[in-house]
């Protein structure tokens, strides 16, 4: 398994992701790679599993080069075509492809590696980085034709944070408290909208 080759290949491919994907940028993927490995180490994955997880992280959003809807499947198909060239066995390729496919919403990961990748994909919700990423996601969705008012955006974020629970023990330990803080902050930010409505009625 040639992980250095994969890093180089994926970095080159990331440069081809259209610029309108402000959130799903190379920076996002690099962050997912970093925390997938960090959570994976804390979860006690083997060296081979860590390399496989990192590979899935590098590939998981490369499908955006091709399309928006269905990008997870496009990412997985790219991995299936390319990974054997980097020394992945048929079994390892299939596994990596399966991990990538589990990042499709709503996420339902089953294995340890799937759980960690899904956690790493949104780990920023447990950090103050949440606001920067959120702003980029909102701008990206707007460029794709989906606009949100301030209140709609707060509700969108609150719904996501309320419904999401980290899957791995490592991510829960490191990010759940931050996730709860973000949720409280969002609810506070939403309060003036409710108060205003109360005044009118
Ligand atoms: Fe992602």
pLDDT at residue 200 is higher than 70? no
Fold of 3-200: Hypothetical protein af1432 (1.10.3210)
Cα–Cα distance for residue pair 152/174, rounded to 1 Å = 29
User: Taking the domains of the chain in order of start, what are their residue ranges?
Assistant: 3-200
pLDDT in tens, 130-164: 999 999 999 999 999 999 999 999 999 999 999 99
C-alpha 37 – ligand 1 centre gap (Å): 15
Q: What share of the chain is helix, strand, coil (3-state, %, to 5)?
A: 75, 0, 25
Nearest to 26 by CA among 37, 18, 14: 14
pLDDT in tens, 23-62: 999 999 999 999 999 999 999 999 999 999 999 999 999 9
50, 35 contact by CB (below 8 A): no
Nearest to 170 by CA among 57, 73, 39: 39
Considering the entire predicted model, what is its pTM? 0.93
List, as ranges, residues with CB under 5 A of the ion ligand 1: 61, 121
pLDDT band at 66 (very low <50, low <70, confident <90, very high): confident
C-alpha 61 – ligand 1 centre gap (Å): 5
C-alpha 24 – ligand 1 centre gap (Å): 6
């Amino acid at each position: 398994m040639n992980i250095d080759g994969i890093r180089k290949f994926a970095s080159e491919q990331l440069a081809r992701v259209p610029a309108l994907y402000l959130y799903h940028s190379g920076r996002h993927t690099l962050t997912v790679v970093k925390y997938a490995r960090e959570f994976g180490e804390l979860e006690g994955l083997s060296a081979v599993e860590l390399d496989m997880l990192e590979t899935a992280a590098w590939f998981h959003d490369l499908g955006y080069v091709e399309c928006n809807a269905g990008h997870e499947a496009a990412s997985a198909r790219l991995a299936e075509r390319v990974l054997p060239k980097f020394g992945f066995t048929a079994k390892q390729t299939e596994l990596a492809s399966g991990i990538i496919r589990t990042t499709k919403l709503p996420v339902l990961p089953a294995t340890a590696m799937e759980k960690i990748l899904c956690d790493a994909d949104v780990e920023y919700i447990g950090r103050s980085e949440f606001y920067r990423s959120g702003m980029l996601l909102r701008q990206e969705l707007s460029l794709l034709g989906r606009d949100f008012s301030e209140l709609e955006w707060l509700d969108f974020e609150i719904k996501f944070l309320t419904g999401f629970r980290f899957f791995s023990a490592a991510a829960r330990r490191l990010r759940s408290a931050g996730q709860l803080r973000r949720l409280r902050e969002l609810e506070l930010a939403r309060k003036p909208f409710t108060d205003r409505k109360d005044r009118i009625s």
